[in-house]
Amino acid sequence: MTIQPAWQIPRSGLLWLLIAFVGVVIPHVGHLPPWITAGAIVAIGWRIQVYRGCWGFPGIWIKVALLALCIGGLLLSYGLLVGLEPMVALLVSGYSLKLLEMHRPRDALVLVYLGYFVAITLCLFDQSIAVTSYILVGLLLVTAGLAGLHQTAETTKHSAFVELGSLKTAAAILLQAIPLMLVLFLVMPRFAPLWSVPSQRDSATTGVSDSMSPGDFTRLGRSAATAFRVTFAGPMPPKRQLYWRGLVLSDFDGRAWRQAVPWGYAGNLVQWYGQPDGSWRGDIPRSAASLDYSVILEPTQNQWLYALTPSQPLTEGVGLARDHSLVNRVPVTGKREYRARFMPDSPRDLDALPSIRHFVETRLPPEFNPETRRLAAEWRAEEPDNEALMRRLMALFRREFTYTLEPPALGRHSVDEFLWQSKRGFCEHFASSFVFFMRAAGIPARVVVGYQGGEYNPEQDYLTVRQYDAHAWAEVWLEGQGWVEFDPTAAVAPERIEFGMAETLAGEEEFLADNPFSLHRFRDIPWLNRLRLQLDYLDYLWTRWVLRYDGVQEGLLSRMLGAVDPVRIGLFILIAGFLALLPVLLLLWWRRAGNPRSPLEQLYLEFCRKLEKAGLGRNTGEGPRDFAARASARFPADREQIENFSRFFERVRYAGSVDNLEEDRLRQQRRRLKRFRPGAVRLLTSKSA
Amino acid sequence: MNAPVANRQKLVDAVVETVAGLLMGKEQEIRLAMACLLARGHLLIEDLPGMGKTTLAQALARALGLSYSRIQFTSDLLPADIIGISVYEQASGAFVFHPGPIFSQLVLADEINRTTPKTQSALLEAMAEGQVTVESETRPLPKPFFVIATQNPATSTGTFPLPESQLDRFTMRISIGYPDPASERRMLMGADPRLQLARLRPCVQGEQLDLLQRAASKVQASEAVVDYLQRLVQYTRSEHQFELGLSPRGALAVLDCARAWAMMHARHYVIPEDIQAVFPAVAGHRLQGASDVVQRSGALVEQVLHAVDIL
């Protein structure tokens, strides 16, 4: 009886698996409950203690208890396990538990696969260059763990604490995979996900939300995150035209503005791209001036898109809503690229508003802001002309109001207090009070939220709009002109519109309060500013060519293949894959070519190959005599042939000189070797037997 | 197969058989010792006491018809005790050299690591040069000259272990090891080995040993076999698990012993199996694992043989 020794994980393998564990889990720490992180640390410590021989592996009851703890904790933290974060949390806790259960090589392999999986889930949260590069590092570490599992003490040097041999092996493996990765990236069709990734819990922290209440925009002013990027097919319109309409808010409850129920519209509410034009679109004439542009929107988890007004969608799945904003068919969970046509001169809703719409666009909650209502009525009496009334209000703004990101807090009658007391505020205050005033004077008006301006990258010709460019402005309906956009903020702080938020507020404390070391704070230093623009461009390229590659792919493929069908794609993958791997093959071939085999050696190798096929391979370092003895014992029927051949080989190679080996002797042996079938069933002998 | 080749093999086989009659079940070790002797090398036996080191040396000396002396190395042994000393003789009124025990054809240097480095190096010098110099007079040692040194690995207190440079002078290091039960039983049931030893008759006469040694050195080593040897040597020098690679002297020793081994097996050319047969004994004590590789050198040598292919 032999005692089976317990499997001992190679030290190098264990070390790399632990390093990979840490490397892969760390980026998840931010969106995991703290107890999972703590558990992971305990698991690592425990595993190290097991390795040092101080502690034992957990017994069955401890494992059951740990499992119950994890399940309970997950249920407590997330409730039902639906959504991305609970799933990742589940994965990471399983990853930690498996660490304590590594008894066999198979368990270690499971750990390796889990490591790959956890690494790739990072993509679900962020797909930027930095994170993608980090994922590559994670893959490298996990692969090093995999390599370390197969590197025994004899093949690794123990002098260093961390054996770099495994890492080198892993790097070599991954480097070889790169050509294939590129081919698959180019050709592999992008399938729409079979299920949509459940949105993240905290995803709504940035971006414009579907209501506007005091303070919303201050929050946006703190963030320099990219909202979207735009490239224009022609020259960029002037900055004062760059109003990126997101949502139209018509419903005011005294504090917040919301989208109103789309009452009173005839026909469909959204005109999707590709549908025949609805009746209500007839009022947008095809104006002469038009400008196509393309937007890459960062994920917002919302359906609305941002576009200049008025614009017409040019991308499948994008529609034009009745309030002239663009909407996406599904919430934007990944980066979304869409194209649209800006037609600056076309009026909107020229015909008189239906009475229900008129009611909705002028409705105000009666119990708020009595002072403003009273004054609006007073002014209305003095100024019967709508435009004159607006001019008068704007003049008031210009004369007495200050633009600041740190306005005093407002009470119950926010518009009254802003207009007649504090007189300090920013876009949302101006837009809100302007619209309120107009409605109180009986003019249909509504709030529009979105972004204004953006930063133009002159070298690369695209525009980056950031969260701090978020803006709110107004829209009024005038007889004979339809809806007209109107920005009261422009009256108070024209530089906000002309130069953008960053220029205007660079000194204010609230601006970018969340990231005090943001490069955006140092735009006065030219080289830093240039660096920032370059980084931004890199990110743009990444988004354009890697993340949104599927848009490019179809055209590229059809140009390369003629037509896109599965057979052609398959063939292309085969051929391109072969071509991509060709350098590796050539390298291997070249290495072998450096040590050419003599005809005799080739013959002997052929002999060994035949025996190996029959089930008996020659070991490395096994001499011809030893091998012949082993082969004869294994295939007694072929004994004579085996011994003859190896005697011939031995004589020529070791007793004579290879140079004066006669060609025909070699040829003769080659012929004999061809007929050599070790281990073959001989019908004749079996019959006679 | 030509006659002289077969005769040589018979001769060697006869010696091996004779010695194996005393040292039962240790034919492989006896053959290695023979190969070492035929390659004009010196042998280091590392083993526990009572394993038959002395028996091997004495039996070899007898079977080969060599003069034999034994030096028990102790910590107070002086070089002169080995080499000899000049004594003033009143009768002739001159100093007369009294040769020490080293002036024998087969010298058994027992427990060589018990003596001081000074005495050790006197022996090793004699081994290397085949002559000794006493009082500015060079005296050749008898031919053939063969040293079998033993050391006891178990007790290391109060010993002076041989440094690598001096280990390198021994062509081979072997250990005899316990006999298998059957051989041990035969030994226990048989006659007293000491009596047997006294009855032993030489199998080799006069010049024959020298002829054998010469024949061994003429065994052909083809390019292919030298290639293989060089790859083995290169492996020990380039792989990091070795602290020290195989020296050129070591490589030469491997080839010489492989030649002798081939001759002992009635071949006039060396094949890889010959190299593999002698390699552990010849290279084992010269290779040293890197300090942090805790391994027996035997395992290291096996590793080399398994890692380097013969082609």
A471 is catalytic: yes
CB contacts of B267 in chain A (<8 Å) are 655
Rounded CA-CA distance A605/A613 in Å is: 12
Q: Does B222 touch chain A (CB under 8 A)?
A: yes
On whether residue B246 sits in a domain, the answer given is yes
More confidently predicted of A618 and A225: A618
pLDDT above 50 (res A368): yes
Q: pLDDT value at position B188?
A: 86
- Greatest Cα pair distance in chain B: 69
Catalytic residue among A427, A429, A469, A520: A427
Contact B290 A157 (CB under 8 A): yes
| Partners of residue B272 in chain A, C-beta under 8 Å | 623-624, 654
For residue A130, pLDDT beyond 70:
yes
Phi, psi of A589, deg, nearest 5: -60, -45
Q: Would you call A462 an interface residue with chain B, using a CB distance cutoff of 8 Å?
A: no
Distance (Å) from the alpha carbon of A658 to chain B's nearest alpha carbon: 9
Beta bridge partners of B147: B107
d(CA A13, CA A170): 12
Least confident of A210-214, A254-258, A464-468, B53-57: A210-214
Out of A296-300, A378-382, A522-526, A537-541, which region has the weakest mean confidence (pLDDT)? Answer: A522-526
Pairwise CB contact (< 8 Å): A154 & B303: yes
The per-residue pLDDT for B259 is: 93
- Residue A508 reports pLDDT greater than 50: yes
B277, closest residue in chain A (CA to CA) = A623
What is the average pLDDT value for chain B, to the nearest integer?
85
Residue A509 is predicted with a pLDDT of 54
CA gap B123, A297 in Å, rounded: 88
Same domain assignment for residues B92 and B156? yes
pLDDT band, very low/low/confident/very high, at A168 (cuts 50, 70, 90):
confident
**pLDDT range class, residue A506, cuts 50, 70, 90:** low
A/B interface, count of CB pairs below 8 Å:
63
Residue from the list B220, B308, B310 with its beta carbon closest to the beta carbon of A655: B220
- Which residues in chain B have their CB less than 8 angstroms from residue A619's CB? 306
Looking at residue B255, what is its pLDDT?
93
CATH, residue B250: 1.10.8.80
Q: Could you tell me which residue, A306 or A279, shows the higher pLDDT?
A: A306
Q: Which of A11, A151, A154, A603 to mutate to test the interface with B (most CBs of B within 10 A)?
A: A154
Q: Give the number of other CB atoms < 10 A from CB of residue B123.
A: 26
User: Which residue out of A323, A487, A536, A638 is catalytically annotated?
Assistant: A487
Between A524 and A582, residue with greater pLDDT: A582
Contact A158 B292 (CB under 8 A): yes
- Domain presence at residue B13: no
Tell me which residue has tokens 């028996």. Answer: B55
Measure Cα distances from A299 to A200, A208, A308 in Å: 11, 12, 19
Q: Choose the final residue of a domain: B177, B211, B236.
A: B177
pLDDT of residue A118: 92
Q: Is B243 inside any structural domain? A: yes
User: pLDDT tens digit string along A663-672?
Assistant: 777 777 888 8
| Interchain contact, A624 vs B307, CB within 8 Å | no
Distance from C-alpha of B171 to C-alpha of B252, rounded to nearest angstrom: 10
Contact B95, B88 (CB under 8 A): yes
- Which helix (H) or strand (E) covers residue A410, if one does? none
Residues A528-541 have pLDDT tens digits of 777 877 887 887 78
The rounded percent of chain A whose pLDDT value lies above 90 is 6
Helix (H) or strand (E) holding A605: helix A599-613
Residues B42 and B171 placed together within one structural domain of the fold: yes
Report the residue of chain A nearest B232, measured CA to CA.
Answer: A621
Average pLDDT over residues A358-368: 84
Q: Is A427 a catalytic residue?
A: yes
**C-beta atoms of A621 and B306 within 8 A:** yes
In this prediction, residues A492-521 reach a mean pLDDT of: 62
A619 to chain B, any CB pair closer than 8 A? The answer is: yes
One-letter amino acid at B185 equals R
Distance CA B97, CA B135 (A): 10
d(Cα A14, Cα A150) in Å, to the nearest integer?
11
Q: Which residue in B259, B273, B306 has the most chain A C-beta atoms within 10 A of its own C-beta, making it the best mutation to test that interface?
A: B273
- Measured CA to CA, the distance from residue A259 to residue A247 in angstroms comes to 8
The pLDDT value recorded for residue A454 is: 84
Q: How far is CA B152 from CA A470, A646, B69, B113, B235, in A?
A: 88, 43, 19, 8, 30
Long-range contacts, stretch A91-96, CB < 8 angstroms, 24+ apart: A91/A117, A91/A118, A91/A121, A92/A25, A92/A28, A92/A32, A92/A36, A92/A40, A92/A118, A93/A36, A93/A39, A94/A70, A95/A21, A95/A25, A95/A40, A96/A21, A96/A25, A96/A36, A96/A39, A96/A40, A96/A43
Range of the domain at B154: 28-177
Task: Identify whether residues B133 and B39 lie together within a single domain.
Answer: yes
Give per-residue pLDDT as tens, A68-104. 988 888 888 887 767 778 888 889 999 999 988 888 8
Domain ranges of chain A: 11-187, 206-564, 599-688
Indicate yes or no: CB of B290 within 8 angstroms of CB of A605.
no
Among B123, B150, B177, the domain-final residue is B177
Look at residue A59 in the predicted model and tell me its pLDDT: 83
Q: What is the pLDDT of residue A214?
A: 65
Inform me whether the pLDDT recorded for A659 exceeds 60: no
User: Considering the domain boundaries, does residue B293 fall inside one?
Assistant: yes
Instruction: Please state, in angstroms and rounded to a whole number, the distance separating the CA atoms of residues A244 and A473.
Output: 10
Q: In whole angstroms, give the CA distance from residue B256 to residue A517.
A: 75
Q: Which amino acid, B302?
A: E
Would you place residue A523 in the very low, low, confident or very high pLDDT band (cuts 50, 70, 90)? low
Give the residue among A63, A123, A120 at the shortest CA–CA distance from A93. A63
* pLDDT number for residue A288: 62
CATH number of the domain that B107 lies in?
3.40.50.300
Residues B164 and B49 in one domain: yes
Domain assignment present for B212: no
Q: B224 and B298 share a domain?
A: yes
Please determine, for residue A685, whether its predicted confidence score (pLDDT) is greater than 50: no
Whether B183 is covered by a domain: the verdict is no
Answer whether B189 touches A (CB < 8 Å).
no
Q: Is the pLDDT of residue B267 over 50?
A: yes
Q: Contacts of residue B270 in chain A, CB cutoff 8 Å?
A: 654
Asked whether residue B102 falls in the same domain as residue B232, the answer is no
Instruction: Tell me what the pLDDT averaged over chain A comes to.
Output: 79
> pLDDT tens digit string along B294-306?
455 567 788 888 8
pLDDT (tens digit per residue) in B183-239? 888 888 887 777 888 888 888 877 888 888 898 888 988 888 998 999 999 888 887
The mean per-residue pLDDT over the stretch A569-583 comes to 82
If one counts every other C-beta atom within 10 angstroms of the C-beta of residue A242, the result is 22
Which one of A601, A626, A657 has the shortest CB-CB distance to B273?
A: A626
* A656, containing H or E segment: none
More confident residue, A469 or A561: A469
Least confident of A44-58, A673-687, B134-148: A673-687
Do B47 and B159 lie in one domain? The reply is yes
The pLDDT assigned to B35 comes to 92
- Do the Cβ atoms of B260 and B35 come closer than 8 Å? yes
CB of A434 closer than 8 Å to CB of A486: yes
CB distance from B240 to chain A under 8 Å?
yes
pLDDT confidence of residue A156: 46
- The greatest distance separating any two alpha carbons of chain A, rounded to the nearest whole angstrom, comes to 128
Q: Calculate what percentage of chain A has a pLDDT beyond 70.
A: 82
- Contact of B2 with chain A, judged by CB distance below 8 Å, is answered with no
How, if at all, do strands A455-457 and A462-466 pair? antiparallel
Whole-angstrom distance, CA of residue A676 vs CA of residue A635: 12
Q: H/E element holding A529?
A: helix A526-541
pLDDT at residue A599 is higher than 70: yes
Residue A1 is which amino acid?
A: M
Q: Residue A409 pLDDT > 80, yes or no?
A: no
Q: With contacts defined as CB-CB under 8 Å, which chain B residues touch A154?
A: 241, 303
Task: Find how far residue B60's CA is from the centre of its chain.
Answer: 11
Can you give the pLDDT at residue A676? 80
CB distance A260 to A360 below 8 Å: yes
Q: In this structure, is residue B249 part of a structural domain?
A: yes
Bridge partner list, A252: A257
User: Which of residues 579 through 618 in chain A touch B, CB cutoff 8 A?
Assistant: 597, 601, 604-605
Query: Tens digit of pLDDT for each residue in A6-55?
Result: 567 777 788 888 999 999 999 888 888 888 899 999 999 988 888 888 88
Residues B169 and B242 in one domain: no
pLDDT band at residue A137 using 50, 70 and 90 as cut-offs: very high
Tell me the residue length of chain A: 689
Find which of B271, B302, B303 to mutate to test the A interface (most A CBs within 10 Å of its CB). Answer: B271
Mean pLDDT of B141-148: 87
Q: What is the ipTM of this complex?
A: 0.84
Of the partner residues A159, A605, A654, the one whose CB lies closest to the CB of residue B225:
A654
Please determine, for residue A495, whether its predicted confidence score (pLDDT) is greater than 80: no
Q: Is A487 a catalytic residue?
A: yes
Task: Say if B282 falls within a structural domain.
Answer: yes
Q: Is A164 on the interface with B (CB under 8 A)?
A: no
CA A563 to chain centre: 29
Q: Report the number of distinct structural domains present in chain B.
A: 2
The first and second tokens of residue A227, run together, are 């909202």
